[in-house]
Structures are given as C-alpha cells and as structure tokens.
Amino acid sequence: MRHMSAPPRSRTALVTGASSGIGEQFARDLAERGYALVLVARRADRLDALAAELADRFGTAAEVLSADLGAPDGTAAVEERLRADGPDGPAPVDLLVNNAGRGDGGAFAEQDPDDVEHMLDVNVRAVLRLARAVLPVQIARRERGERDPMGIINVSSMAGEMTVNPGGSVYGATKKFVTLWSESVALEAAPHGVHVTAVLPGFVRTDMTRAVQESGTPDAAFVPKERITRDALRAWAAGRTSVVPGAQYKLADGLLRAIPRTLYKAVAGRRTVL
C-alpha cells in the first residue's frame, strides 16, 4: 500500500486591529497569499463579516478573536493564542501583524489621563506582550528545523520620526518606541531565521485619520493602504528591519534625518499627528 503524505499545513497569520483600515487590508492580502488567519479586534461583528468575505473570496479559514488590547484580559487572550505550538491544538502563528493602535492627539496638558494610559497599553504594552508570546515559539520551531517564513510585522508611524510633535506628543513617542524596539529585536531574532520588520506609514485614509482627511490635507499626502501592506509584506519577506512606504515619505524620512534638531524645533508650530 502506497504511503500518502499529509498535505502541507497552511501558514497562519494573526492580525490585530483587523476590523478596519490597514489591519483589514493586511488580512485581505494575507488571505490572497494563502494564509489562514486569526482576526483580532474589539468589534466582533466586523470581524465576523470580514471572515465570511475572506472565506467566500479566497477559501480562507479565519478565526475571530474579539479582544480589547487596552485591557489585561484582552491582551492575555491573544497571548494565549500566540503561544500555541502543538499538533493537537490550534495552528501555530507564523506571522504576527501588530497593527492595532490608538492615535489620540491634542495638547498633553489637556489630554485625559485615562486616554493616555489606554494609548500606552494598546500602542506599546500590548505590542511587546504579543511579540514576547510568539517569538519564543517561532524560535523553537526554527530550532526543530521548520523552514516556513516566520516573524512579526510591527506597524509604527512616521510620527515617531519627528524631532518634536506638538499636538501628538504621546502618540509620536509610542511610535518612536515601537520603531527602535522593533529594529533591535529584529537583530536578535535574525540569527534564528525569524524576521521582524517595522513599517512606518505616513498619512493613510483610515478611521484614525478622519480628522486629518476632513482638514483639507492634500491628496498627495496620503498613501493607499494597499501600498502600505504590500511594501510591509515584501520588506518582511526580504528580512528588512524597517520600511517607509510611499516615495513622499521616503523623501520626508531623509529630510527629517538631515534637518538640524534646533531648526526643526523652531518651525514645528503646526500641530499634526500621522
């Protein structure tokens, strides 16, 4: 009797903030690439609708995990899913997309302290905890000889690259943290064959930037979310530690690095949050 080998396991990606915007686009792109998905966000109804759409269009298996990453129990539930590493349980996660974020702005002295704390929980603490949950599993799988691409994409922001960011001080600081931390962890993970990539978008048309869209910001300032996810996935597959999608923001990134800090601070009167 001829031995029939088991079919190859589908790769699995977990995407946070998958109910809209960049996270939703990541889910679509990954489904098109053949990934099974774990969709994470607070709005279960929108996740259910997205899961049904992906199943219909791509035949994608999608788990729905409703969780608030600004709350300890929500983060813990996602951490538990990311630690899966056995043949009898849920499929292990090959790619974590840390996309969920909160982008409140305003003068720091006028911000609600609870809102600031929640932004820190979502933008920083949850990102670290989820990465810490999945990285040891991915490294162990590599050491067992698994060769599928594995790792993390962390969605940061060009807001973190501004020397100063009046009106977006906390948000910009959280994103600068994510970028620096992510690039350091990328170097730690690389010898194990695990890729970690920070993606730094500028303005994107999402729910988070609705106020910016309504303020008369030129169309040229916005990068399509499809470009963000495409560039991020390509950079991650290539093992790059960071990527800035969009020609206008690549130019801006170079200028921000070249402009003296004192000059930048002198002209940074306009309040903006990317």
Kindly list the catalytic residues: 171
7 CB burial (10 A radius; 0-12, 13-18, 19+): exposed
CA pair distance 198, 236, nearest whole angstrom: 9
- From edge to edge, which strands make up the β-sheet containing 36-41? 62-66, 36-41, 12-16, 95-98, 151-155, 195-199, 242-243
Q: Give the Å distances, CA to CA, from 169 to 29, 116, 162, 195, 203.
A: 32, 11, 10, 29, 17
Alpha carbons 80 and 239: distance in angstroms, whole number? 26
Sequence letter at residue 25: Q
Q: How far is CA 244 from CA 44, 171, 173, 189, 249, in A?
A: 31, 18, 18, 21, 7
Helix, strand or coil, per DSSP, at residue 83: coil
3-state secondary structure of 68: coil
Cβ atoms of 168 and 272 within 8 Å: the answer is yes
How many Å apart are CA 94 and CA 110, to the nearest integer?
41
The tokens of 34 are what?
């053949």
